[in-house]
Amino acid sequence: MTSPRIPYGRHWLEEDDAAEVLQALRSDWITQGPRIEAFEQRVAAACGARFGIAFSSGTTALYGACSAAEIGAGDEVITSPLTFVGTANAAVYLGAKPVFADIDPASLNLDPGQVRRRLTPKTKAILPVHFAGLPADLEAIAKIAREKGLCVIEDACHALGAEWLDSKGVWQKVGSCSHSDMAVFSFHPVKHITTGEGGMVLTNRPELAERLRVFRHHGLRKVQGALAEAEPWRHEMDQLGINGRITDFQCALGLKQMDKLGRFLERRRRIADVYAQALEGLDLTPQRFDRERFRHAWHIYVVQVGLKTGSPDRRSLFQALTEMGIGVNVHYLPVHLHPFYQRTFSYRAGDYPVAEKYYDRTLTLPLFPRMTDGQVQEVVQCVGRIMEQEGAPHAAR
């Protein structure tokens, strides 16, 4: 399969990134060393949280967060059907049932009204997703959680650097956990910064931070008190955990990438602005939000094709752009439509009509910080040319 000339997403590594990794590889520590804690502190400080606990991937971080929340068999976790499968899988790993609530058609994030309708006595947690980098309505979700005594775990894997204005007029950073118990980030190569693979959970609660650290280390703790005096080498497992550890050389890369986060975010926002202006008037409906209240992190740029006029269809635009070397993608098949979820939990097409309607027409355009102005214009021109050739009418402005 030929790689596209312009991929939908791509990491940006420079010589100083490589130098940091090489320095870590030449040090006394390549895993479980000082760079891990330094990276954890750096990300937590950037987001305004007290504690950061790094993991080997965003998925293992989600798994750890659900474990720290003591989610288990018989529990239900409400989340969005519009997300990567790892979000819901984290609950399934622990024996819980993922219960989906439909999305808001404009923001594409969880609809708090739909969340409320899905509550049952078995509900243990709400797991909102900041889809594409746009903050979910955390105030409304937190209000529901407080009323019912539920845990809130943010899937912030798309949203490092995003912010939202609360009802008191204060800007809140995604990951500050001002309205949640934990927030989870991913450092996969197409995310805002990368450690290769990697993830992190942020929290302001020390007991959750401790559970997370123990979980990522097989559930093992060093014994305390008299037993430690007798057997100072002894570690005991009092909870089930996994090997979710990240390496020092990955965190060396992460630390250097954090130096560049502001530049990366600014570039993503600039590209998104160019798309919004250049594609206005075409029947391509972007994610809609109040720019006075939200600072989008733009992990991906999604549009719904032909939503207003029905032309062109998503399949033809996808195919034509692919043939031109433009690496378009689709994010995501709603989780409840995956065979495993239909087989295991009896979900069916039609259960979440807003998410399904979105999926039928969505297309992801290339967006990454290393993308040049010329590449951005090439994407815009190719999209416009295809829609003109297909005779697609312009949407009403």
Give the Cα separation of 127 and 144 in Å (integer). 12
Residue 54's pLDDT band (cuts 50, 70, 90): very high
Residue 7's pLDDT band (cuts 50, 70, 90): very high
The token duo for 394 is: 């312009």
Which residues is 346 bridged to in the sheet?
none
Evaluate if residue 395 carries a pLDDT over 90.
Answer: no
User: Does residue 135 lie in a domain region?
Assistant: yes
Q: What are the φ and ψ backbone dihedral angles of 164, each rounded to 5 degrees?
A: -145, 150
Let me know whether 324 and 224 are in one domain. Answer: no
Let me know whether 127 and 193 are in one domain. Answer: yes
Residues forming the active site: 191
Give the Cα separation of 240 and 263 in Å (integer). 40
Let me know whether 213 and 70 are in one domain. Answer: yes
Percent of the chain at pLDDT above 90?
A: 92
Evaluate if residue 397 carries a pLDDT over 50.
Answer: no
Could you give the count of Cα atoms lying within 13 Å of 285 in the half-sphere of its Cβ? 25
Give the Cα separation of 125 and 356 in Å (integer). 24
Contacts of 13 (CB under 8 A, 6+ apart): 194, 253
Could you list the residue range(s) of the whole structural domain that residue 209 is in?
15-258
Please, where are the H alpha helices in 190-247?
Answer: 206-215, 225-230
Percent of the chain at pLDDT above 70?
A: 98
Let me know whether 267 and 336 are in one domain. Answer: yes
Let me know whether 246 and 279 are in one domain. Answer: no
Let me know whether 273 and 338 are in one domain. Answer: yes
User: CATH number for the domain including 270?
Assistant: 3.90.1150.10
User: Does residue 355 lie in a domain region?
Assistant: yes
User: Does residue 303 lie in a domain region?
Assistant: yes
In the block, which residue shows the tokens 């030929």? 2
Let me know whether 316 and 230 are in one domain. Answer: no
User: Does residue 8 lie in a domain region?
Assistant: no
Let me know whether 189 and 268 are in one domain. Answer: no
User: Does residue 7 lie in a domain region?
Assistant: no
User: Does residue 4 lie in a domain region?
Assistant: no
What is the average per-residue pLDDT within 23-35? 96
Residue 390's pLDDT band (cuts 50, 70, 90): confident
Of 123, 124, 129, 91, which is closest to residue 110 (Cα–Cα)? 129
Let me know whether 249 and 266 are in one domain. Answer: no
Amino acid at position 314, single letter: R
Give the Cα separation of 390 and 313 in Å (integer). 10
* Total domains in the fold of the chain: 2
Let me know whether 381 and 312 are in one domain. Answer: yes
User: Does residue 9 lie in a domain region?
Assistant: no
**Residue that is last in its domain, among 258, 293, 322:** 258
From edge to edge, which strands make up the β-sheet containing 171-173?
171-173, 163-165, 294-295
User: Does residue 394 lie in a domain region?
Assistant: no
Of 84, 97, 164, 157, which is closest to residue 125 (Cα–Cα)? 97
Residue 254's pLDDT band (cuts 50, 70, 90): very high
Let me know whether 64 and 100 are in one domain. Answer: yes
Evaluate if residue 193 carries a pLDDT over 50.
Answer: yes
DSSP string, 130-192: -GGGPPP-HHHHHHHHHHHT-EEEEE-TT-TT-EEE-TTS-EEETTS-TTSSEEEEE--TTSS
* pTM beyond 0.85, yes or no: yes
DSSP string, 258-272: HTTHHHHHHHHHHHH
User: CATH number for the domain including 105?
Assistant: 3.40.640.10
**Residue that is last in its domain, among 229, 258, 287:** 258
Residue 309's pLDDT band (cuts 50, 70, 90): confident
Please, where are the H alpha helices in the chain?
Answer: 15-25, 34-47, 58-68, 85-93, 112-117, 138-148, 206-215, 225-230, 248-258, 261-278, 314-323, 339-345, 353-361, 373-389
Contacts of 219 (CB under 8 A, 6+ apart): 237, 238, 239, 240, 241
Q: pLDDT tens digits, residue range 323-366?
A: 999 999 999 999 999 999 999 999 999 999 999 999 999 999 99
**Residue that is last in its domain, among 210, 238, 258:** 258
Let me know whether 222 and 345 are in one domain. Answer: no
